[in-house]
Amino acid sequence: MRTLAFGIGIAVAVGLILVHAATLVPRPPPSYGTPPPPQYQAIVTALGMAGLTVVDLAVGLSIGMALHRGLSRAETSEVARRGMFLFATGFLIAWLVMSMFAVLWLSNLIRYA
């Protein structure tokens, strides 16, 4: 379990670094009425999507770990099991909402550079 938690931590760190790197790519000089250059769009899209994919992997692993923990321990009380299931469900719902906003934000960053 410790190695899985360590892997989740690394995945979150790498994913967040990639998402932040997508925001730090220098924007091209503004040219009104024309879309940003394709190179800029490709770099921001690649960094953003790679970062979100790695963070999504970490979220999936943490939810799986919580569900596994709730199912595998027979000596755990019913209240603790329900808490683990509620955490996994609530965390997944919150992550889906937050990742929707992150994808919309990245698409606006590309579109309105």
Cα 38 to chain centroid distance, Å, stands at 25
Exposure string for 99-113, b = 16+ CB within 10 A, e = fewer? eeebeeebeebbeeb
**Quick check: 66 and 87 in contact, CB under 8 A?**
yes
Rounded Cα distance between 19 and 12, Å, is 11
Predicted local confidence at residue 82, as pLDDT: 83
Q: Could you say which residues of the chain have pLDDT below 50? A: none
Say which DSSP state 112 is in.
T
- 6 CB-side CA count, 13 A: 3
Predicted local confidence at residue 113, as pLDDT: 53
One-character DSSP codes across 26-84: PPPPP-TTSPPPHHHHHHHHHHHHHHHHHHHHHHHHHHHHHHHHHHH-TTS-HHHHHHH
Predicted local confidence at residue 1, as pLDDT: 63
**Domains of the chain, residue spans:** 2-111
